[in-house]
């Protein structure tokens, strides 16, 4: 019986992944607004009712896509293990900005939709917030980050700055993501420095 449950759950996760992959590919190719649920189902080779077995609404699917695509930068931060935490933060903000700008206008629209689906921020309990908490704690342990503020509070500020900068970029074509995320990273590094 246990093998059946595992196989059933594995199949369910595979179908969900197919839907999310199809949606992401279509969003990049045609834009979020121009892509229908029917097109996503056709690309994923699933029935419409199967889509709704996995996601109650289109926004729920976009939210799931956002959680998968936007919030796990853990490896990016911790692959830079030799850098001081404040320096690492600036470098990662610079890398995020460069990657997003290079991705083009369709990706900008997709990021905007994903952020809107998550409420324009990554709350506590999301992987990205937890990554920043871990990063701050590591910095405190290494003597690089001040203990003036708690790790949760500093993570809130970092996530707010990152998501705020990205939101500004998605809604304002004149907003320089590279310049502004760099400046936000520098300001945060100064706040963090012990």
139 and 97 co-located in one domain: yes
Q: Tell whether 64 is covered by a domain.
A: no
Range of the structural domain that residue 147 is part of: 69-192
51 and 78, same domain (yes or no)? no
Model pLDDT, residue 2: 55
81 lies in the same domain as 156: yes
Q: Is 63 a domain residue?
A: no
- 3-state SS, the chain, equals CHHHHHHHHHHHHHHHHHHHHHHHHHHHHHCCCCCCHHHHHHHHCCCHHHHHHHCCCHHHHHHHHHHHHHCCCHHHHHCCCCCCHHHHHHHHHHHHHHHHHHHCHHHHHHHHHHHHHCCCCCCCCCHHHHHHHHHHHHHHHCCCECCCCCHHHHHHHHHHHHHHHHHHHHHCCCCCHHHHHHHHHHHHHHHHEC
| Domains identified in the chain, total number | 2
Q: What is the pLDDT of residue 182?
A: 97
79/146 same-domain check: yes
Q: What is the CATH number of the domain that holds 148?
A: 1.10.357.10
Assess whether 174 and 109 both reside in one domain.
yes
> pLDDT tens, 13-67?
899 999 999 998 998 888 888 899 999 999 999 999 999 999 999 888 887 887 7
Q: Give the residues of the chain that fall short of pLDDT 50.
A: 71
The CATH number linked to 17 is 1.10.10.60
């Amino acid at each position: 019986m246990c093998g059946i449950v595992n196989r059933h759950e594995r199949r369910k996760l595979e179908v969900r992944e197919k839907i999310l992959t199809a949606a992401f590919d279509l969003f990049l190719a045609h834009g979020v607004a121009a892509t229908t649920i029917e097109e996503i189902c056709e690309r994923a080779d699933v029935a419409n009712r199967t889509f709704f077995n996995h996601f109650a609404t289109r926004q729920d699917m976009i939210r799931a896509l956002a959680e998968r695509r936007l919030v796990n930068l853990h490896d990016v931060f911790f692959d830079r293990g030799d850098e001081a935490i404040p320096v690492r933060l600036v470098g990662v903000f610079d890398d995020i900005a460069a990657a997003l700008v290079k991705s083009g206008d369709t990706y900008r629209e997709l990021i905007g939709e994903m952020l809107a689906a998550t409420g324009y921020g990554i709350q506590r309990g999301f992987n990205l917030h937890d990554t920043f908490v871990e990063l701050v704690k590591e910095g405190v342990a290494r003597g690089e980050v001040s203990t003036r503020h708690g790790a949760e509070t500093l993570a809130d500020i970092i996530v707010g700055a990152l998501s705020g900068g990205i939101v500004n970029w998605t809604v304002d074509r004149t907003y320089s993501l590279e310049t502004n995320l760099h400046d936000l990273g520098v300001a945060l590094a100064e706040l963090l420095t012990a």
